[in-house]
Amino acid sequence: MGVYEAGVNGTATATSCSFWNTSMRCWCRWRWENHQQQQQQHNVLRQRLVSLVFSSGFTFFLGYLVLYGSIGMFYAWLMFSKPYLRSTNAGVGLKSLGCQEDNEGSWSIGVFYGDSPFSLKPIEAMNEWRHEGAAWPIANPVVTCASLSDAGFPSNFVADPFLYVQGDTLFLFYETKNSITSQGDIGVAKSIDKGATWQQLGIALDEDWHLSYPYVFNYLGQIYMMPESSQKGDLRLYRALNFPLQWTLDKVLIKNPLADSFIINRAGEYWLFGSDHSGVGTRKNGQLEIWYSSSPLGPWKPHKKNPIYNVDKSVGARNGGRPFVYDGNLYRVGQDCGETYGRRVRIFKVEVLTKDDYKEVEVPLGFEESNKGLNAWNGARYHHLDVQQLSSGKWIAVMDGDRVSSGDPVHRFVLGSASFAAVTAVVVVLGVLLGAVKCIIPLNWCAHFSGKRNNALLGRARSNLFSSKVRRFCSRLNRVPLSVRGKIKPNTWAGKLVLAVIFAVGVALMCTGVKYFFGGNGAEGAYPLNGSYSQFTLLTMTYDARLWNLKMYARHYSRCSSVKEIVVVWNKGMPPRSSDLDSTVPVRIRVEDQNSLNNRFKEDPKIKTRAVLELDDDIMMSCDDIERGFNVWRQHPDRIVGFYPRLVRGSPLQYRDEKYARRHESYNMILTGAAFIDRTLAFERYWSSEAKAGRDLVDRYFNCEDVLLNYLYANASSSQTVEYVRPTWVIDTSKFTGVAISKNTSEHYNIRSNCLLKFSEIYGSIAGRKCEFNGRKDGWDL
């Protein structure tokens, strides 16, 4: 028994060792072959990469991408760098942390007046505010992210405005999105001039969660605020401890995340309207609930028909401001979120409001939307309105607005990325047509494994069938370049034309992508001065032969943000009707009895703005340049501020072009073919008795009216009287129509030289005055 057992154990041990040795050898061989295979694959991959990098196709691809990229960089510098932007406070919070681009928008707040809630007009239309030291009228928006940011409270936007009226003082509560925390806080401002100007008081309420929609009301001598705090999960009521900046939590009204809620006293009951988007099956921005109580402090009971609405977001179910009572009727303000969030406000007349029933019907607000698009502060959407009656009987309203739709930055990023991807495809097509790209996909990228097979590589071997199909697809795809080159024939004129068109398409796509990435939202808005905006009248002088110029002129400039009205001084021929011109602002055609250039500066009491932009109808420039020029003029309203500088000097005096002024790095005259002036100051000087001799010369030469105005300004002041703003680009459209007033340049310059001599004899020379081109602060060397 013992010998047997030893033999058996020995045999088992030997067998076990043999099996173990064999397994180890197999495992080591597998590891070695696997390592060799991986090394082989790495070498193949490295060779492919090297061959790819040094291939003619890759060089072509990279070179054309660099070319298109260079074109895109030049386009970005030309269109979006604004190299001539002056170092003034024209920027909107440029040095602060505020006014950052935000996916929620760039909301701001405007003020409106009317005899009723249904006849509201913007503050600029009412001409409420005039100040001798500033441009008038004041224009919307009156509160922006810059208003708060420049006061030391960085903000990306301001929205959801509510008024609280105390006698002649207006308090404005609103949501401000903190630029640092990206959280909504409640800001407050004060006005003592009917809302024309606002003093930013600071942040009234700041919690650890998002706040908005600061509904403020008075109850039993106490001032309460009920902001939206749906992110916290409930509806909270705050009471003022030291109005308007100190508040304390009074109580939690409802433990539901109600959004955009208000309380109204009607028929002896208090009614609370709000939207709860947390429920299953609730349609966002399309839900409305009503609660009722005997006190605004609660307790609150739900309406029998809740939810009152659970409909499409375009219906206006979500509240959009404070309800109001007019002629005994209650009106609710809702917001239409159909096209985009907060597209517009809608007004509903409440016909039935009981504990068991609710009915309302939509009525027109009578509000005219702006047609200036992105250039209007509320051109894309407006979603909140608070309208109240003042003690005078007039109505005042605050409304927020935005020039872009919700999600605009993301939308532009997607379109820009798609444009750049399309440029890559264009480069590949060009490479195929020019023969630089021989194949779309190299066949060795699709090669299957052909080495020694073993059990460990069986799984890889089973994929050979798929590899073969891929190789066949690659082969067919790679025959496409030969087929395309055979049909287009790049060496022929037709083929070269096709190549040029494809290259141009690539340039257009690259510029489009750059525009989406670096061009911002595309708006050419107004520049504020000391936090306020204004408007100007655009005046041009023309006649029947230049009607085509006038139509293009009105269509383009009427969409500039600060243009209030266009006045056309019609000197000769049959005038057009105002309706013949595509304009977003009123066009007034002033027909003159005499064809005289003096008509340009004729006193016109119908002009309702202090600033007038004298702009020839054959000059086209960007709205952004116009707005920059207007901002500079607002800082120097006693000067002629324009875009065409000239230098008058020499003996005898000789009129020269802009190149001469730039060569000598100075100027002392601004042509009024494109210049801002103070209408009262300029027109009174031009039609004074002292200017009679100069006006006679203008009629005699049919020229030099702009030169005369410069002499009159210089004669009236020893300080600087002209200011130059360099435009980004200018196009003279008269060159396309052949109806330029001054066709013979040499004769035109000779007449103007004679004018210089005559005006110098009458009003004194301006040759001794000089303003330097230095891009920042122009000096006036007497």
Q: Which residues are catalytic?
A: 706
Contact status, residue 239 vs residue 220, Cβ threshold 8 Å: no
Helix (H, G, I), strand (E, B) or coil at 22: helix
DSSP 54: T
Residue 205 token pair: 């309420």
Rounded CA gap, 400 and 174, in Å? 10
Residue 778 token pair: 């122009």
Is it true that the peptide bond before 141 is cis, omega within 30 degrees of 0? yes
Backbone φ and ψ of 542, nearest 5°: -155, -175
Residue whose C-alpha is closest to residue 365's, from 405, 337, 394, 336: 336
Rounded CA gap, 674 and 600, in Å? 12
CB-neighbour burial class of residue 446 (10 A; exposed 0-12, middle 13-18, buried 19+): middle
CB neighbours (10 Å) of residue 761?
Answer: 10
Residue 379 token pair: 């051109």
**Residues belonging to the chain:** 782
Amino acid residing at 334:
G
Rounded CA gap, 372 and 496, in Å? 42
Rounded CA gap, 209 and 224, in Å? 19
Contact status, residue 223 vs residue 558, Cβ threshold 8 Å: no
Residue 449: CB partners within 8 Å, gap ≥ 6?
457, 460, 461, 464
Please give the distance of CA 696 from its chain centroid, rounded to a whole number. Answer: 47
* DSSP strand pairing (344-353 vs 587-591): unpaired
CB neighbours (10 Å) of residue 252?
Answer: 14
- CA distances from residue 390 to 114, 160, 729 in whole angstroms, order as listed: 11, 20, 48
Contact status, residue 536 vs residue 499, Cβ threshold 8 Å: no
Backbone φ and ψ of 351, nearest 5°: -95, -35
- CA distances from residue 763 to 61, 673, 737 in whole angstroms, order as listed: 67, 22, 37
Residue 265 token pair: 């006293």
Residue whose C-alpha is closest to residue 65's, from 551, 566, 424: 424
Rounded CA gap, 716 and 693, in Å? 16
CB neighbours (10 Å) of residue 286?
Answer: 21
Contact status, residue 235 vs residue 215, Cβ threshold 8 Å: no
Helix (H, G, I), strand (E, B) or coil at 329: strand
Helix (H, G, I), strand (E, B) or coil at 483: helix
Residue whose C-alpha is closest to residue 106's, from 157, 179, 177, 148: 157
Rounded CA gap, 599 and 572, in Å? 12
* DSSP strand pairing (155-166 vs 169-178): antiparallel
Residue 532 token pair: 């306020």
Rounded CA gap, 679 and 648, in Å? 25
* DSSP strand pairing (301-302 vs 395-401): unpaired
DSSP 298: -
